[in-house]
Structure formats: structure tokens, C-alpha cells
Amino acid sequence: MEEKFALNEVELMKYQPNRYPFLLIDRVTEVIPGKSAKGYKNLTNNEWFVPVHFPGNPNMPGCLQIEAMAQMLTVAILSTAGMEGKVVHSYKHNGTFHKEVRPGDRLDMESEILSFKRGLCTGRVKGYIDGELACELETVVIIPDVFNQYKPTKKDK
């Protein structure tokens, strides 16, 4: 049976290097280390981006939706044994947006690792508002410490 656990806002800091104002996760409700992470971001009128995006019609910018989803995937990656504290860089994103994310919404995110080899991780994250798909992300993430330790063999060439 797989170990599952949840993280509050303080425990989250162990697996997510971002800090306010760029930490875009409020709570992680379930982590299966090295496989998946689920959690959410509560959007309020107090978010730093609301006054400028867009006055009179506030919503969460698409780039910040991508960042929030990438952060949730990072929790799944860094919860893997031996990965805690590693630096993670996003390499490639393919995001799709289905509806606006507005103040008052709770963006529920579900991430899953699709593959993880030699410091390269591919993953998928879906964001929901009230059970309806709002945004999704397919991404490639690199963990430089692990990637740089890899020495190609003849079999890899």
C-alpha cells in the first residue's frame, strides 16, 4: 500500500521552494510520493495580482495558473525519497485554459508524474473549479542536481 499524507501551509515549505508572494498553493490534501499530489489555491480579492489583472474584471493570469499547477507537480516530485530540498526548474509547459479563475474561486489541482528518469520529469496537472475543468498543464521539469550527475553510457547513444 502506498504512503499517503497531507500537508498544511507550514509543512508544504519542506517540498515547495517558493515563498510568498509566489507560493500559489494554500494546502496539499494528498501526496503519494513520486506519483501524485492534490491540493488547492483559494483566490481572494487580496491577491497581489487582482488590482492589475484586470481592473473591473479580476481573474488569475494564465501564467500564474501554470505556475500554481507546476508547483503542485513539484510537491509530487520532491516528496520522493532523496529529493527533498532539490532545486527544480520548469523546462517546457503546454497549458490549456477552459474558464476564468476569479476571486472567490477555489482552484483544486490534481498532479501526476508520468515519467521520471535521470532528473527529467514529465507530468500532467488539471485544475478544477467546483468540479469543472478550468485549466490543464502538461510539463517537463528538470532537477539539475540529478540531471547533471547522469553519465551517458554507450547504450544511451
Query: Among 53, 89, 93, 98, which one carries the catalytic annotation?
Result: 53
- Confirm whether 53 is a catalytic residue: yes
The β-bridge relationship of strands 106-117 and 36-42 is: antiparallel
d(CA 49, CA 35): 31
Residue at grid coordinates 489583472? 53
Rg over CA atoms, the chain: 16
Sign of CA dihedral 71, 73, 75, 77: negative
Which residues does the annotation mark as catalytic? 53
